[in-house]
Amino acid sequence: MMQKPDDTRPRSPAAGPVSAPGGWPVVGHAPALLTRRLEFLSSLAAVGEVVRIRLGPVPAYVVTHPALVRRLLVPGDQHYDRGLLMEKSSTWFGDSLLTSYGESHRRQRRALRSAFTGEHLAAHVRRVRDETQKVVGSWTPGRAFALDEHMNDLALTSVARSLFSTGLTTEKLASIRHHMPVLFRGVLARTAMPNGWDRLPTPGNLRFRTSMRAMDALVNDVITARRAEHPDPEAPGDVLTSLLAVRDDNGAALSVRAVRDQVMTLLVAGSETTGAVLTWALYEIFRHPPIEDAVRRELDEVLGNRDLTLERLSSLTYLEKVISETVRRYPVPFIMRRTLRPVRLGEVDLPAHAEIVFSPYILHHDRRWFPQPRQFDPDRWSPDRSDPPAKDAYIPFGAGVHVCIGRRMALAAIATSLAVICSTQRLEPAADRPIREVATGTVHPDRMPMIPRPVSPTGVGRATR
Cα separation of 35 and 263, whole Å? 32
Cα separation of 203 and 254, whole Å? 35
Evaluate whether 321 touches 381 at the Cβ level (below 8 Å). Answer: yes
**Shorter beta-carbon distance to ligand HEM: residue 215 or 451:** 215
Size of interface with ligand HEM, in residues (CB under 6 A): 23
Sign of torsion over alpha carbons 186, 191, 193, 196? positive
Site string for ligand HEM, 383-422 (x = CB under 6 A): -------------xxx---x-xxx--xx------------
Q: State the minimum distance, in angstroms, from the CB of residue 286 to ligand HEM.
A: 19
Q: State the minimum distance, in angstroms, from the CB of residue 15 to ligand HEM.
A: 27
**Element housing 345 (H / E):** strand 343-345
Site string for ligand HEM, 290-309 (x = CB under 6 A): --------------------
Please list the alpha-helical segments (H only) found in 288-440.
289-298, 310-313, 317-329, 360-364, 407-424
Binding piece for ligand HEM, criterion CB under 6 A, among 2-10, 31-39, 272-280, 295-303: 272-280
Residues in contact with 462: Cβ distance below 8 Å, sequence separation at least 6, in sequence order:
305
Sign of torsion over alpha carbons 148, 131, 413, 426? negative
Binding piece for ligand HEM, criterion CB under 6 A, among 59-67, 207-215, 269-277, 417-425: 269-277
Cα separation of 107 and 140, whole Å? 48
Q: State the minimum distance, in angstroms, from the CB of residue 62 to ligand HEM.
A: 15
Evaluate whether 53 touches 62 at the Cβ level (below 8 Å). Answer: yes
Exactly one of 222, 223, 335, 412 binds ligand HEM (CB under 6 A); which one? 335
Q: Is 281 in the site for ligand HEM (CB under 6 A)?
A: no
Q: Is 333 in the site for ligand HEM (CB under 6 A)?
A: no
**Element housing 284 (H / E):** helix 256-287
**Shorter beta-carbon distance to ligand HEM: residue 274 or 416:** 274
Cα separation of 299 and 319, whole Å? 9
Please list the alpha-helical segments (H only) found in 164-308.
170-191, 203-228, 239-245, 256-287, 289-298
Q: Is 51 in the site for ligand HEM (CB under 6 A)?
A: no
Q: How far is CA 398 from the centre of its chain?
A: 10
Q: State the minimum distance, in angstroms, from the CB of residue 178 to ligand HEM.
A: 20
Q: State the minimum distance, in angstroms, from the CB of residue 369 to ligand HEM.
A: 17
**Shorter beta-carbon distance to ligand HEM: residue 131 or 451:** 131
Identify any residues that bridge with 60 across adjacent strands, giving them in sequence order.
Answer: 53, 355
Q: State the minimum distance, in angstroms, from the CB of residue 415 to ligand HEM.
A: 11
Q: Is 326 in the site for ligand HEM (CB under 6 A)?
A: no
Residue numbers 131-170 binding ligand HEM by CB under 6 A: 159
Q: Is 310 in the site for ligand HEM (CB under 6 A)?
A: no
Q: Is 277 in the site for ligand HEM (CB under 6 A)?
A: yes
Q: Is 237 in the site for ligand HEM (CB under 6 A)?
A: no
Q: Is 443 helix (H, G, I), strand (E, B) or coil?
A: strand
C-alpha separations of 312 from 88, 155, 302, 308, 366 in Å: 42, 21, 8, 6, 34
User: What single-letter amino acid sits at 152?
Assistant: N
* Phi and psi, residue 115, nearest 5°: -75, -10
Residue nearest to ligand HEM (CB): 406
Evaluate whether 373 touches 367 at the Cβ level (below 8 Å). Answer: yes
**Shorter beta-carbon distance to ligand HEM: residue 242 or 424:** 242
Q: State the minimum distance, in angstroms, from the CB of residue 462 to ligand HEM.
A: 27
**Shorter beta-carbon distance to ligand HEM: residue 278 or 451:** 278
Binding site for ligand HEM (CB under 6 A): 97-98, 109, 159, 265-266, 269-270, 273-274, 277, 327, 332, 335, 396-398, 402, 404-406, 409-410
